[in-house]
Protein backbone atom coordinates (compact mmCIF):
# COMPACT_ATOMS: atom_id res chain seq x y z
CA UNK A 1 0.00 0.00 0.00
CA UNK A 2 1.33 3.44 -0.93
CA UNK A 3 2.19 5.90 1.83
CA UNK A 4 -0.35 8.21 0.21
CA UNK A 5 -3.07 5.65 0.75
CA UNK A 6 -1.97 4.98 4.32
CA UNK A 7 -2.05 8.67 5.10
CA UNK A 8 -5.49 8.97 3.51
CA UNK A 9 -6.85 6.11 5.59
CA UNK A 10 -5.58 7.73 8.77
CA UNK A 11 -7.31 10.97 7.79
CA UNK A 12 -10.55 9.05 7.19
CA UNK A 13 -10.34 7.43 10.62
CA UNK A 14 -10.30 10.83 12.31
CA UNK A 15 -13.05 12.25 10.08
CA UNK A 16 -16.24 12.83 12.09
CA UNK A 17 -18.31 12.95 8.86
CA UNK A 18 -17.08 9.57 7.59
CA UNK A 19 -20.28 7.75 8.77
CA UNK A 20 -22.33 9.74 6.22
CA UNK A 21 -20.66 7.83 3.38
CA UNK A 22 -22.69 4.73 4.23
CA UNK A 23 -25.88 6.76 3.86
CA UNK A 24 -25.35 6.93 0.09
CA UNK A 25 -25.41 4.30 -2.65
CA UNK A 26 -22.06 4.15 -4.44
CA UNK A 27 -22.44 3.00 -8.07
CA UNK A 28 -21.44 -0.58 -8.88
CA UNK A 29 -17.88 -1.19 -9.89
CA UNK A 30 -17.59 -2.25 -13.55
CA UNK A 31 -13.94 -3.22 -13.74
CA UNK A 32 -13.39 -5.09 -10.49
CA UNK A 33 -11.76 -2.26 -8.54
CA UNK A 34 -13.13 -0.15 -5.72
CA UNK A 35 -15.35 2.59 -7.11
CA UNK A 36 -13.97 6.13 -6.97
CA UNK A 37 -16.90 8.47 -7.61
CA UNK A 38 -15.80 12.09 -8.01
CA UNK A 39 -18.71 13.34 -10.07
CA UNK A 40 -20.96 14.94 -7.45
CA UNK A 41 -20.61 18.20 -9.37
CA UNK A 42 -22.62 16.59 -12.14
CA UNK A 43 -24.94 14.14 -10.36
CA UNK A 44 -24.90 13.59 -6.61
CA UNK A 45 -25.39 10.08 -5.24
CA UNK A 46 -28.64 8.62 -3.99
CA UNK A 47 -29.27 8.68 -0.23
CA UNK A 48 -29.98 5.15 1.06
CA UNK A 49 -32.98 6.50 3.00
CA UNK A 50 -34.69 7.60 -0.19
CA UNK A 51 -36.29 4.38 -1.42
CA UNK A 52 -38.37 3.84 1.72
CA UNK A 53 -39.32 7.51 1.87
CA UNK A 54 -40.49 7.33 -1.75
CA UNK A 55 -42.54 4.24 -0.90
CA UNK A 56 -44.12 6.11 1.99
CA UNK A 57 -45.18 8.91 -0.36
CA UNK A 58 -46.60 6.37 -2.80
CA UNK A 59 -48.46 4.66 0.04
CA UNK A 60 -50.00 7.94 1.10
CA UNK A 61 -51.49 8.28 -2.37
CA UNK A 62 -52.56 4.58 -2.38
CA UNK A 63 -54.30 4.75 0.96
CA UNK A 64 -55.66 8.30 1.04
CA UNK A 65 -56.27 9.29 -2.56
CA UNK A 66 -57.10 12.96 -2.82
CA UNK A 67 -57.22 13.27 0.97
CA UNK A 68 -53.43 13.01 0.93
CA UNK A 69 -53.50 16.74 0.28
CA UNK A 70 -54.58 17.38 3.86
CA UNK A 71 -53.90 14.13 5.75
CA UNK A 72 -51.05 11.72 6.34
CA UNK A 73 -47.47 12.09 7.44
CA UNK A 74 -46.64 14.96 5.11
CA UNK A 75 -49.82 16.47 3.66
CA UNK A 76 -49.25 17.59 0.09
CA UNK A 77 -50.83 21.05 0.22
CA UNK A 78 -48.09 22.58 2.39
CA UNK A 79 -45.42 20.05 1.31
CA UNK A 80 -43.08 22.58 -0.30
CA UNK A 81 -42.95 24.44 3.01
CA UNK A 82 -40.99 21.51 4.49
CA UNK A 83 -38.07 22.53 2.28
CA UNK A 84 -38.08 26.18 3.14
CA UNK A 85 -36.04 26.22 6.33
CA UNK A 86 -33.37 23.75 5.15
CA UNK A 87 -32.95 25.71 1.90
CA UNK A 88 -32.73 28.97 3.84
CA UNK A 89 -29.92 27.47 5.94
CA UNK A 90 -27.98 26.41 2.84
CA UNK A 91 -28.35 29.75 1.07
CA UNK A 92 -28.12 32.18 3.98
CA UNK A 93 -31.63 33.43 3.34
CA UNK A 94 -34.76 34.20 5.30
CA UNK A 95 -37.12 31.23 5.04
CA UNK A 96 -39.61 33.34 3.11
CA UNK A 97 -36.96 34.22 0.51
CA UNK A 98 -36.56 30.68 -0.88
CA UNK A 99 -38.79 28.23 -2.67
CA UNK A 100 -38.25 24.79 -4.21
CA UNK A 101 -39.88 24.66 -7.64
CA UNK A 102 -39.43 23.84 -11.34
CA UNK A 103 -35.94 23.34 -12.76
CA UNK A 104 -33.01 25.71 -12.98
CA UNK A 105 -33.44 27.12 -16.47
CA UNK A 106 -37.19 27.54 -15.97
CA UNK A 107 -36.52 29.47 -12.77
CA UNK A 108 -33.89 31.59 -14.49
CA UNK A 109 -36.49 32.65 -17.04
CA UNK A 110 -39.08 33.37 -14.34
CA UNK A 111 -36.56 35.45 -12.42
CA UNK A 112 -35.57 37.39 -15.52
CA UNK A 113 -39.22 38.14 -16.20
CA UNK A 114 -39.19 39.99 -12.89
CA UNK A 115 -35.64 41.29 -12.73
CA UNK A 116 -34.60 42.01 -16.29
CA UNK A 117 -36.65 45.05 -17.18
CA UNK A 118 -34.73 46.81 -19.92
CA UNK A 119 -35.57 50.28 -21.18
CA UNK A 120 -34.04 52.36 -23.95
CA UNK A 121 -31.09 53.46 -21.82
CA UNK A 122 -30.55 50.49 -19.46
CA UNK A 123 -30.83 47.28 -21.44
CA UNK A 124 -27.57 45.40 -21.03
CA UNK A 125 -26.92 42.18 -19.17
CA UNK A 126 -23.39 41.61 -17.92
CA UNK A 127 -22.51 37.91 -17.67
CA UNK A 128 -19.32 35.89 -18.03
CA UNK A 129 -17.65 34.81 -21.22
CA UNK A 130 -17.63 31.11 -20.35
CA UNK A 131 -21.13 30.84 -19.01
CA UNK A 132 -22.97 27.53 -19.02
CA UNK A 133 -24.78 27.15 -22.37
CA UNK A 134 -28.27 26.99 -20.87
CA UNK A 135 -27.73 30.28 -19.05
CA UNK A 136 -26.46 31.87 -22.23
CA UNK A 137 -29.44 30.64 -24.25
CA UNK A 138 -31.82 31.93 -21.58
CA UNK A 139 -30.13 35.33 -21.44
CA UNK A 140 -30.01 35.74 -25.22
CA UNK A 141 -33.63 34.74 -25.66
CA UNK A 142 -34.75 37.14 -22.91
CA UNK A 143 -32.85 39.96 -24.58
CA UNK A 144 -34.51 39.19 -27.93
CA UNK A 145 -37.89 38.83 -26.25
CA UNK A 146 -37.60 42.44 -25.15
CA UNK A 147 -36.69 43.54 -28.67
CA UNK A 148 -32.95 44.05 -28.13
CA UNK A 149 -30.01 42.48 -29.91
CA UNK A 150 -27.72 40.20 -27.88
CA UNK A 151 -24.76 41.45 -29.97
CA UNK A 152 -25.25 44.79 -28.29
CA UNK A 153 -27.01 43.93 -25.06
CA UNK A 154 -25.09 40.89 -23.80
CA UNK A 155 -21.72 41.77 -22.30
CA UNK A 156 -19.49 38.81 -21.54
CA UNK A 157 -16.66 39.48 -19.13
CA UNK A 158 -13.41 37.65 -19.72
CA UNK A 159 -11.09 36.08 -17.17
CA UNK A 160 -8.23 38.30 -16.04
CA UNK A 161 -5.33 37.63 -18.47
CA UNK A 162 -3.24 34.63 -17.50
CA UNK A 163 -5.13 33.99 -14.27
CA UNK A 164 -8.11 31.94 -15.46
CA UNK A 165 -10.33 33.70 -12.92
CA UNK A 166 -12.98 36.34 -13.19
CA UNK A 167 -12.19 39.26 -10.92
CA UNK A 168 -14.15 42.05 -9.28
CA UNK A 169 -11.78 44.48 -11.04
CA UNK A 170 -12.94 43.31 -14.47
CA UNK A 171 -16.56 43.92 -13.49
CA UNK A 172 -15.67 47.26 -11.86
CA UNK A 173 -13.86 48.45 -15.00
CA UNK A 174 -16.80 47.66 -17.22
CA UNK A 175 -19.32 49.26 -14.88
CA UNK A 176 -17.20 52.42 -14.44
CA UNK A 177 -17.47 52.96 -18.20
CA UNK A 178 -20.91 51.62 -19.10
CA UNK A 179 -22.70 51.04 -15.79
CA UNK A 180 -25.55 53.36 -16.71
CA UNK A 181 -26.53 50.98 -19.55
CA UNK A 182 -26.61 47.85 -17.41
CA UNK A 183 -29.95 46.49 -16.20
CA UNK A 184 -28.68 43.21 -14.75
CA UNK A 185 -25.44 41.53 -13.71
CA UNK A 186 -25.82 37.74 -13.73
CA UNK A 187 -22.96 35.63 -12.38
CA UNK A 188 -22.33 32.06 -11.29
CA UNK A 189 -21.59 31.44 -7.61
CA UNK A 190 -19.06 28.79 -8.59
CA UNK A 191 -17.88 28.72 -12.21
CA UNK A 192 -18.75 25.28 -13.61
CA UNK A 193 -15.64 24.87 -15.77
CA UNK A 194 -12.89 26.28 -13.58
CA UNK A 195 -14.40 25.69 -10.15
CA UNK A 196 -13.68 29.29 -9.13
CA UNK A 197 -15.85 30.71 -6.33
CA UNK A 198 -16.72 34.20 -7.49
CA UNK A 199 -16.58 37.20 -5.15
CA UNK A 200 -20.37 37.23 -4.92
CA UNK A 201 -20.76 39.84 -2.16
CA UNK A 202 -18.40 42.35 -3.80
CA UNK A 203 -19.98 41.87 -7.21
CA UNK A 204 -23.48 42.41 -5.79
CA UNK A 205 -22.32 45.62 -4.15
CA UNK A 206 -20.71 46.85 -7.37
CA UNK A 207 -23.77 46.11 -9.48
CA UNK A 208 -25.99 47.99 -7.04
CA UNK A 209 -23.58 50.93 -6.88
CA UNK A 210 -24.13 51.35 -10.62
CA UNK A 211 -27.89 50.96 -10.42
CA UNK A 212 -28.08 47.42 -11.82
CA UNK A 213 -29.72 44.37 -10.27
CA UNK A 214 -27.61 41.34 -9.34
CA UNK A 215 -28.59 37.70 -9.88
CA UNK A 216 -26.73 34.45 -9.23
CA UNK A 217 -26.73 30.98 -10.74
CA UNK A 218 -25.84 28.72 -7.84
CA UNK A 219 -25.88 25.39 -9.71
CA UNK A 220 -22.34 24.57 -8.54
CA UNK A 221 -22.44 26.57 -5.33
CA UNK A 222 -25.42 25.34 -3.32
CA UNK A 223 -24.46 22.57 -0.91
CA UNK A 224 -20.82 23.25 -1.79
CA UNK A 225 -19.80 26.62 -0.36
CA UNK A 226 -21.30 28.86 2.34
CA UNK A 227 -23.72 31.48 1.04
CA UNK A 228 -25.25 34.59 2.61
CA UNK A 229 -27.68 35.71 -0.06
CA UNK A 230 -29.77 37.88 2.23
CA UNK A 231 -26.87 39.81 3.74
CA UNK A 232 -25.12 40.15 0.38
CA UNK A 233 -28.34 41.75 -0.89
CA UNK A 234 -28.40 39.53 -3.95
CA UNK A 235 -31.63 40.33 -5.82
CA UNK A 236 -32.37 36.79 -6.98
CA UNK A 237 -30.70 33.41 -7.32
CA UNK A 238 -31.49 30.07 -8.91
CA UNK A 239 -30.03 26.58 -8.48
CA UNK A 240 -30.57 22.94 -9.37
CA UNK A 241 -30.78 20.11 -6.85
CA UNK A 242 -29.18 17.16 -8.63
CA UNK A 243 -25.54 18.23 -8.29
CA UNK A 244 -24.31 18.78 -4.74
CA UNK A 245 -27.83 18.50 -3.32
CA UNK A 246 -28.10 14.80 -4.30
CA UNK A 247 -31.82 14.95 -5.10
CA UNK A 248 -31.65 12.88 -8.28
CA UNK A 249 -31.63 13.42 -12.05
CA UNK A 250 -33.75 16.40 -13.08
CA UNK A 251 -34.65 17.09 -9.44
CA UNK A 252 -36.88 19.98 -8.42
CA UNK A 253 -34.73 23.11 -8.36
CA UNK A 254 -35.11 26.29 -6.35
CA UNK A 255 -34.87 30.01 -6.27
CA UNK A 256 -34.27 32.94 -3.98
CA UNK A 257 -35.90 36.35 -4.14
CA UNK A 258 -34.61 38.99 -1.75
CA UNK A 259 -37.10 40.16 0.84
CA UNK A 260 -36.97 43.73 -0.47
CA UNK A 261 -38.69 42.56 -3.66
CA UNK A 262 -41.39 40.62 -1.78
CA UNK A 263 -44.60 41.44 0.06
CA UNK A 264 -45.66 43.93 -2.57
CA UNK A 265 -42.77 46.28 -1.73
CA UNK A 266 -42.31 46.84 -5.43
CA UNK A 267 -45.81 47.28 -6.80
CA UNK A 268 -44.57 47.45 -10.38
CA UNK A 269 -42.62 44.20 -10.24
CA UNK A 270 -43.70 42.10 -13.21
CA UNK A 271 -44.18 38.40 -12.49
CA UNK A 272 -45.76 35.48 -14.31
CA UNK A 273 -48.50 34.23 -12.01
CA UNK A 274 -50.17 30.88 -11.36
CA UNK A 275 -52.54 29.64 -8.70
CA UNK A 276 -49.81 28.21 -6.45
CA UNK A 277 -48.34 31.68 -6.09
CA UNK A 278 -51.60 32.88 -4.57
CA UNK A 279 -51.83 33.35 -0.80
CA UNK A 280 -52.47 29.82 0.54
CA UNK A 281 -55.42 30.95 2.72
CA UNK A 282 -57.42 32.16 -0.24
CA UNK A 283 -56.10 29.85 -2.96
CA UNK A 284 -59.08 27.53 -2.99
CA UNK A 285 -61.64 30.30 -2.96
CA UNK A 286 -60.78 30.42 -6.64
CA UNK A 287 -61.18 34.18 -6.69
CA UNK A 288 -60.65 36.09 -9.91
CA UNK A 289 -58.14 38.45 -8.29
CA UNK A 290 -54.57 37.22 -7.69
CA UNK A 291 -53.21 37.94 -4.23
CA UNK A 292 -49.52 37.01 -4.04
CA UNK A 293 -48.27 34.68 -1.32
CA UNK A 294 -45.63 35.95 1.05
CA UNK A 295 -42.06 35.90 -0.19
CA UNK A 296 -40.61 33.76 -2.96
CA UNK A 297 -43.68 31.49 -2.81
CA UNK A 298 -45.47 34.06 -4.97
CA UNK A 299 -43.36 32.94 -7.95
CA UNK A 300 -44.77 29.40 -7.84
CA UNK A 301 -47.01 28.51 -10.75
CA UNK A 302 -48.38 24.99 -10.40
CA UNK A 303 -49.10 22.63 -7.57
CA UNK A 304 -45.73 20.98 -7.01
CA UNK A 305 -44.70 17.41 -7.96
CA UNK A 306 -44.72 15.77 -4.52
CA UNK A 307 -42.96 12.61 -5.69
CA UNK A 308 -40.14 14.79 -7.01
CA UNK A 309 -39.97 16.96 -3.90
CA UNK A 310 -39.52 13.93 -1.64
CA UNK A 311 -35.87 13.35 -2.71
CA UNK A 312 -35.11 17.01 -2.09
CA UNK A 313 -36.60 16.76 1.41
CA UNK A 314 -34.64 13.58 2.23
CA UNK A 315 -31.43 14.99 0.86
CA UNK A 316 -31.69 18.32 2.67
CA UNK A 317 -32.19 16.53 5.98
CA UNK A 318 -28.73 14.99 5.54
CA UNK A 319 -27.24 18.46 5.15
CA UNK A 320 -28.95 19.50 8.36
CA UNK A 321 -27.62 16.44 10.18
CA UNK A 322 -24.05 17.03 9.01
CA UNK A 323 -24.12 20.84 9.19
CA UNK A 324 -22.81 23.02 6.38
CA UNK A 325 -20.02 24.39 8.61
CA UNK A 326 -18.59 20.92 9.29
CA UNK A 327 -19.04 19.94 5.65
CA UNK A 328 -17.19 23.01 4.42
CA UNK A 329 -14.38 22.43 6.91
CA UNK A 330 -13.94 18.85 5.68
CA UNK A 331 -14.30 19.97 2.07
CA UNK A 332 -11.38 22.38 2.40
CA UNK A 333 -9.18 19.63 3.84
CA UNK A 334 -10.34 17.01 1.34
CA UNK A 335 -9.81 19.13 -1.77
CA UNK A 336 -6.60 20.52 -0.25
CA UNK A 337 -5.25 16.98 0.19
CA UNK A 338 -6.18 16.05 -3.38
CA UNK A 339 -4.68 19.24 -4.85
CA UNK A 340 -1.44 18.79 -2.90
CA UNK A 341 -1.01 15.16 -3.96
CA UNK A 342 -1.68 16.03 -7.59
CA UNK A 343 0.70 18.99 -7.59
CA UNK A 344 3.51 17.16 -5.82
CA UNK A 345 3.31 14.04 -7.98
CA UNK A 346 1.83 14.82 -11.37
CA UNK A 347 2.48 18.47 -12.15
CA UNK A 348 4.60 17.66 -15.20
CA UNK A 349 1.43 16.17 -16.72
CA UNK A 350 -1.41 18.25 -15.33
CA UNK A 351 -2.14 21.82 -14.41
CA UNK A 352 -4.89 22.69 -11.90
CA UNK A 353 -7.05 25.48 -13.36
CA UNK A 354 -9.01 25.99 -10.15
CA UNK A 355 -7.65 28.74 -7.86
CA UNK A 356 -5.47 27.51 -5.02
CA UNK A 357 -6.86 29.68 -2.21
CA UNK A 358 -9.57 27.79 -0.32
CA UNK A 359 -11.90 30.81 -0.28
CA UNK A 360 -11.71 30.87 -4.08
CA UNK A 361 -12.77 27.29 -4.62
CA UNK A 362 -15.33 24.73 -3.47
CA UNK A 363 -14.75 21.00 -3.67
CA UNK A 364 -14.15 20.84 -7.43
CA UNK A 365 -10.76 20.79 -9.11
CA UNK A 366 -10.43 21.20 -12.86
CA UNK A 367 -7.33 19.53 -14.26
CA UNK A 368 -5.91 20.51 -17.62
CA UNK A 369 -3.83 17.70 -19.11
CA UNK A 370 -0.68 19.11 -20.59
CA UNK A 371 0.03 16.93 -23.63
CA UNK A 372 -2.70 18.00 -26.04
CA UNK A 373 -6.22 16.89 -26.78
CA UNK A 374 -5.58 13.36 -28.07
CA UNK A 375 -3.43 12.27 -25.13
CA UNK A 376 -5.73 14.01 -22.67
CA UNK A 377 -8.75 12.16 -24.00
CA UNK A 378 -6.87 8.84 -23.99
CA UNK A 379 -5.88 9.40 -20.36
CA UNK A 380 -9.49 10.12 -19.42
CA UNK A 381 -10.67 6.96 -21.24
CA UNK A 382 -7.99 4.87 -19.52
CA UNK A 383 -9.03 6.34 -16.16
CA UNK A 384 -12.65 5.33 -16.66
CA UNK A 385 -11.45 1.74 -17.20
CA UNK A 386 -10.21 1.71 -13.60
CA UNK A 387 -13.57 2.39 -11.91
CA UNK A 388 -13.00 6.12 -11.59
CA UNK A 389 -16.06 8.20 -12.43
CA UNK A 390 -15.24 11.82 -13.15
CA UNK A 391 -16.11 14.23 -15.90
CA UNK A 392 -14.61 15.36 -19.17
CA UNK A 393 -14.83 18.85 -20.63
CA UNK A 394 -13.51 19.69 -24.09
CA UNK A 395 -10.79 20.11 -25.09
CA UNK A 396 -8.52 18.72 -22.36
CA UNK A 397 -10.05 19.15 -18.91
CA UNK A 398 -11.04 16.59 -16.29
CA UNK A 399 -13.27 17.83 -13.50
CA UNK A 400 -13.18 16.03 -10.15
CA UNK A 401 -15.18 16.90 -7.08
CA UNK A 402 -14.60 15.14 -3.77
CA UNK A 403 -17.88 15.73 -1.95
CA UNK A 404 -17.53 15.94 1.85
CA UNK A 405 -20.81 14.10 2.52
CA UNK A 406 -19.76 10.86 0.87
CA UNK A 407 -16.21 11.03 -0.47
CA UNK A 408 -13.18 10.02 1.53
CA UNK A 409 -9.49 10.86 1.63
CA UNK A 410 -9.00 7.31 0.38
CA UNK A 411 -11.02 8.17 -2.76
CA UNK A 412 -8.65 11.10 -3.35
CA UNK A 413 -5.53 8.96 -2.87
CA UNK A 414 -6.87 6.24 -5.18
CA UNK A 415 -7.66 8.87 -7.80
CA UNK A 416 -4.10 10.19 -7.79
CA UNK A 417 -2.71 6.62 -8.01
CA UNK A 418 -4.99 5.70 -10.90
CA UNK A 419 -4.49 8.97 -12.79
CA UNK A 420 -0.71 8.43 -12.56
CA UNK A 421 -1.14 4.88 -13.90
CA UNK A 422 -3.43 6.07 -16.71
CA UNK A 423 -0.87 8.69 -17.77
CA UNK A 424 1.95 6.09 -17.71
CA UNK A 425 -0.21 3.68 -19.67
CA UNK A 426 -1.01 6.19 -22.44
CA UNK A 427 2.46 7.72 -22.83
C1 LIG B 1 -26.04 22.31 -14.29
C2 LIG B 1 -26.28 23.68 -14.74
C3 LIG B 1 -27.45 24.04 -15.41
C4 LIG B 1 -28.49 23.01 -15.77
O5 LIG B 1 -29.71 23.56 -16.09
P6 LIG B 1 -31.06 22.69 -15.94
O7 LIG B 1 -32.11 23.68 -16.19
O8 LIG B 1 -31.04 22.12 -14.55
O9 LIG B 1 -31.01 21.58 -16.95
C10 LIG B 1 -27.63 25.37 -15.77
N11 LIG B 1 -26.68 26.29 -15.48
C12 LIG B 1 -25.54 25.97 -14.85
C13 LIG B 1 -24.52 27.03 -14.55
C14 LIG B 1 -25.29 24.66 -14.47
O15 LIG B 1 -24.15 24.34 -13.88
State pLDDT tens for residues 340-361. Answer: 999 999 999 999 999 999 999 9
Ligand 1 mutation pick, 103, 105, 238, max ligand atoms within 8 A of CB: 105
pLDDT at 3 (0 to 100): 92
CA atoms within 13 A on the CB side of 41: 26
Atom of ligand 1 nearest to the CA of 131: 13
Q: What are residue 395's DSSP bridge partners?
A: none
The pTM score is 0.97
* Ligand 1, residues at Cβ distance < 6 Å: 103-105, 132, 134-135, 188, 192, 217, 219-220, 240
Atom of ligand 1 nearest to the CA of 106: 7
Atom of ligand 1 nearest to the CA of 188: 13
Helix (H, G, I), strand (E, B) or coil at 50: helix
Compute, in angstroms, the gap from residue 368 CA to the centroid of ligand 1. Answer: 22
**Mean pLDDT for the stretch of residues 400-407:** 98
Task: Please tell me the class of the 3-48+323-426 domain.
Answer: alpha beta
Atom of ligand 1 nearest to the CA of 250: 8
pLDDT at 222 (0 to 100): 98
Q: Check residue 340 and report its DSSP letter.
A: H
Q: According to the CATH classification, is domain 78-320 in 3.40.640.10?
A: yes
| Average pLDDT of the residues of the chain | 96
Could you count the other beta carbons within 10 Å of the beta carbon of residue 126? 26
Please choose, from the candidates 244, 237, 289, 276, the residue with its C-alpha nearest in 3D space to the C-alpha of residue 110: 237
Compute, in angstroms, the gap from residue 154 CA to the centroid of ligand 1. Answer: 19
**Mean pLDDT for the stretch of residues 365-372:** 94
Atom 13 (ligand 1) nearest CA? 132
Residue 267 has pLDDT above 80, yes or no: no
Residue-wise pLDDT tens digits, 321-346: 999 999 999 999 999 999 999 999 99
Compute, in angstroms, the gap from residue 349 CA to the centroid of ligand 1. Answer: 30
Q: Check residue 155 and report its DSSP letter.
A: E
Per-domain boundaries in the chain: 3-48+323-426, 78-320
Please choose, from the candidates 219, 228, 173, the residue with its C-alpha nearest in 3D space to the C-alpha of residue 199: 228
| Domains 3-48+323-426 and 78-320 agree in fold | no
Amino acid sequence: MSTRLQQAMRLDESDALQPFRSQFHLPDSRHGQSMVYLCGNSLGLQPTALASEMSAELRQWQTLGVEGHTRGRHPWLPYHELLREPLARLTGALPTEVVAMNTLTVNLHLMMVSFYRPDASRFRIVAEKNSFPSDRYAIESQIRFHGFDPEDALIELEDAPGSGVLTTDTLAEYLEQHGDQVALVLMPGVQYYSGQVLPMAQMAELAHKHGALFGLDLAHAIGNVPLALHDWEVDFAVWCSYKYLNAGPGAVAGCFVHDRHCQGRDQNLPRFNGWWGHQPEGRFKMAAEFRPAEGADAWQLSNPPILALAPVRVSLSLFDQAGLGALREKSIRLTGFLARELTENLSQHIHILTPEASEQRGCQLSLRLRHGHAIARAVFDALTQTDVICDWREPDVIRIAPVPLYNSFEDCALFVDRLGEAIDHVR
